[in-house]
Amino acid sequence: MSNRGKRGREELLDTIEQNEVLNQISRLQYKYKEVILLYYYQELKVSEIAEILNISEGTIKMRLNRARKKLGESLSEVSIYG
Protein backbone atom coordinates (compact mmCIF):
# COMPACT_ATOMS: atom_id res chain seq x y z
CA MET A 1 0.00 0.00 0.00
CA SER A 2 1.34 3.44 -0.87
CA ASN A 3 1.99 6.11 1.74
CA ARG A 4 -1.02 8.02 0.44
CA GLY A 5 -3.20 4.93 0.85
CA LYS A 6 -1.92 4.31 4.37
CA ARG A 7 -2.47 7.93 5.33
CA GLY A 8 -6.02 7.85 3.94
CA ARG A 9 -6.79 4.64 5.83
CA GLU A 10 -5.37 6.10 9.07
CA GLU A 11 -7.45 9.26 8.62
CA LEU A 12 -10.56 7.16 8.07
CA LEU A 13 -9.86 5.11 11.20
CA ASP A 14 -9.25 8.32 13.19
CA THR A 15 -12.61 9.67 11.99
CA ILE A 16 -14.39 6.45 12.93
CA GLU A 17 -12.78 6.49 16.37
CA GLN A 18 -13.66 10.15 16.93
CA ASN A 19 -17.26 9.46 15.93
CA GLU A 20 -17.46 6.52 18.34
CA VAL A 21 -16.01 8.62 21.17
CA LEU A 22 -18.63 11.32 20.51
CA ASN A 23 -21.33 8.65 20.35
CA GLN A 24 -20.27 7.27 23.72
CA ILE A 25 -20.07 10.79 25.22
CA SER A 26 -23.64 11.40 24.09
CA ARG A 27 -24.73 8.33 26.09
CA LEU A 28 -23.28 9.63 29.37
CA GLN A 29 -25.48 11.11 32.07
CA TYR A 30 -25.85 14.83 31.49
CA LYS A 31 -23.71 15.81 34.50
CA TYR A 32 -20.78 13.83 33.07
CA LYS A 33 -21.36 14.82 29.48
CA GLU A 34 -21.35 18.53 30.24
CA VAL A 35 -18.00 18.49 32.06
CA ILE A 36 -16.36 16.35 29.36
CA LEU A 37 -17.57 18.69 26.63
CA LEU A 38 -16.56 21.83 28.51
CA TYR A 39 -13.14 20.47 29.47
CA TYR A 40 -12.07 18.69 26.29
CA TYR A 41 -14.03 20.39 23.53
CA GLN A 42 -14.36 23.93 24.87
CA GLU A 43 -10.92 23.64 26.50
CA LEU A 44 -12.03 25.28 29.72
CA LYS A 45 -10.08 24.92 32.95
CA VAL A 46 -11.57 23.11 35.93
CA SER A 47 -11.90 26.44 37.74
CA GLU A 48 -13.80 27.96 34.80
CA ILE A 49 -16.18 25.01 34.59
CA ALA A 50 -16.80 25.21 38.34
CA GLU A 51 -17.66 28.89 38.03
CA ILE A 52 -19.98 28.34 35.05
CA LEU A 53 -21.83 25.45 36.70
CA ASN A 54 -21.70 27.03 40.16
CA ILE A 55 -20.27 23.90 41.78
CA SER A 56 -16.94 23.19 43.46
CA GLU A 57 -13.73 22.37 41.61
CA GLY A 58 -13.61 19.11 43.57
CA THR A 59 -16.99 18.12 42.15
CA ILE A 60 -15.81 18.95 38.63
CA LYS A 61 -12.69 16.82 39.09
CA MET A 62 -14.77 13.94 40.46
CA ARG A 63 -17.21 14.13 37.53
CA LEU A 64 -14.35 14.25 35.03
CA ASN A 65 -12.76 11.18 36.60
CA ARG A 66 -16.03 9.27 36.65
CA ALA A 67 -16.83 10.32 33.09
CA ARG A 68 -13.40 9.17 31.89
CA LYS A 69 -13.89 5.83 33.62
CA LYS A 70 -17.35 5.36 32.10
CA LEU A 71 -16.03 6.32 28.66
CA GLY A 72 -13.14 3.91 28.99
CA GLU A 73 -15.52 1.11 29.91
CA SER A 74 -17.97 1.84 27.11
CA LEU A 75 -15.21 2.20 24.51
CA SER A 76 -13.71 -1.10 25.66
CA GLU A 77 -17.08 -2.73 25.08
CA VAL A 78 -17.08 -1.54 21.48
CA SER A 79 -13.40 -2.55 21.32
CA ILE A 80 -11.95 0.71 20.07
CA TYR A 81 -9.55 1.25 22.92
CA GLY A 82 -9.86 -1.98 24.89
Query: Which range, 4-8, 12-16, 51-55, 74-78, has the best average confidence (pLDDT)?
Result: 51-55
Q: Distance between CA 33 and CA 67 in Å, rounded?
A: 7
Nearest to 35 by CA among 19, 50, 54: 50
**Mean pLDDT of the region 62-68:** 97
Q: What pLDDT does residue 76 have?
A: 85
Q: What pLDDT does residue 2 have?
A: 62
The whole-model pTM stands at 0.78
**How many domains does one find in the chain?**
1
Q: Distance between CA 11 and CA 48 in Å, rounded?
A: 33
Query: pLDDT tier at 42 (50, 70, 90 boundaries)?
Result: very high
Three-state SS at 42: coil
Angle at 27 between CA 21 and CA 33, to 5 degrees: 80
**Is 82 within a domain?**
no
The CATH number given to whatever domain includes residue 31 is 1.10.10.10
End-to-end CA distance of the chain: 27
Q: Distance between CA 31 and CA 5 in Å, rounded?
A: 41
